[in-house]
Amino acid sequence: MIVKVQYRNQKKYIKIPQACFDIFITEVKERFSIPVDNILSVEDETGTEVDDYAFPDLLTTSGICFVIKDELNDSGGDGTLKRFRKEEIKHILLTKPGGSDVLKEYEEKGTISPATRKVMVNILVADMVQSEGRIPQRLTKEKYALGIVTLFPSLQDPHGKTGYVSYS
**In whole angstroms, what is the distance from residue 37 CA to residue 106 CA?**
28
The pTM assigned to this predicted structure is 0.52
Summarised one tens digit per residue, pLDDT across range 16-51 is 999 999 999 999 999 998 888 788 889 988 888 888
Summarised one tens digit per residue, pLDDT across range 110-159 is 889 999 999 999 999 999 999 888 888 888 888 888 888 888 888 877 77
Q: Which domains does the chain have, with CATH numbers?
A: 2-70 (3.10.20.90), 78-155 (no CATH)
> Given this model, what pLDDT does residue 81 score?
64
Question: Does residue 52 contact residue 66 with C-beta atoms inside 8 Å?
Answer: no
